Amino acid sequence: MSTLTTWSLLVLTLPTENATARMRFWRALKAKGCAVLRDGIYLLPHTEEREQMLRELAGAIADSGGTAHLLRAPSLDTAQETEFRALFDRSEDHAEFMRSLKDARKTISGQSAADLTRLLRRLRKDYETVVAIDYFPGDAATRAEAAWQDFIGVVDTVLSPGEPHSAERPIRSLSVSDYQGRTWATRQHLWVDRVASAWLIRRFIDRDAQFIWLTSPSACPTDALGFDFDGAAFTHVGERVTFEVLIASFGLEKDAALLRLGELVHALDVGGAPVPEAIGFEAVMAGARERAADDDQLLDEMGRVLDSIYAHFVTSAKNSNTGGGR
């Protein structure tokens, strides 16, 4: 352990006559992963962000009638470093999360898309909560991450069987005029990337597009343009999902609203930077898939949702460019 950690210490006395405030402060300290050195002394590995959080908490404690002092100090030696780091051992938290994944696996089969989506969202929140306060991740964190990615893969297989692997190839620039009145094919039981891609095709590329929903990629007719499956004309390339590949292929990247939609689809399909609208879209998509009689009806319904989100993003882009707002 070559580098000794600098620590932020919060020494406090909570207000004695305000039980509600005491509980609120205790919960805040726990949520941030503070270690308890002894009653009234809390410890965090120092960063400017964490120290600012503790500073704000100290101010709130003082305002409520308690006292709080914020200090900063490095470990004295490697023995103290080891002792303090042990206070942040999240091995049991990771183990508990992995147990919850094991239990959840037993319930996957037979669940609706909406239920699976809710389950995945709840478990993702649990996972991110532990990761956020695991300041010194070790083997337990590595095992938990592997188990989580494996679980995501199992759920994706149920929600979106036949999910394509990313290809490594250049994305060719294509002309929309060469792709009119074509037949397009993708896997049936549409999920986020496929429904968004079909909407994009009909809305911006081929307004007279006809769609075939395949029981298997191998059933794709030779004269159809496949999308979002291995070997398809349009599928994942590098870091881009099919929706993003279509945008790039047909020169639609100047449309800021489409790029925002691409970020949403990317986040829901393969993960990545969170998009505020993504959770709502995912919930609507799961519900619509439960209600729709077939994929044509599902595309019609989700097409209207995507029209609305696109319009919202267009307005947002205009406001950003003009500095305007509501």
Tell me, which fold does domain 6-86 have in CATH? Alpha-Beta Plaits (3.30.70)
Distance CA 155, CA 109 (A): 9
pLDDT for 274: 82
Per residue in 79-120, pLDDT (tens digit) is 999 999 999 999 999 999 999 999 999 988 878 878 888 898
- Cβ-Cβ contacts under 8 Å for 208 (sequence gap 6 or more): 180, 181
Number of C-alpha atoms within 13 angstroms, CB side, residue 226? Answer: 20
Element holding 75 (H helix, E strand): none
Low-confidence ranges of the chain (pLDDT < 70): 1-2, 160-162, 322-326
Does pTM surpass 0.75? no
Per residue in 275-318, pLDDT (tens digit) is 899 989 988 998 898 889 999 999 999 999 999 999 999 998 88
Q: Where do the structural domains in the chain lie, given as residue ranges? A: 6-86, 91-159, 176-322
Distance CA 194, CA 202 (A): 12
Amino acid occupying residue 135 = Y
Residue 270, by phi and psi: left (phi above 0), alpha (psi -120 to 50) or beta? alpha
Evaluate the CA torsion angle 213, 218, 219, 223 in order and state its sign: positive
Q: Quick one: which of 242, 217, 225, 218 has its CA closest to 167? A: 242
Q: Quick one: which of 260, 229, 225, 261 has its CA closest to 242? A: 229
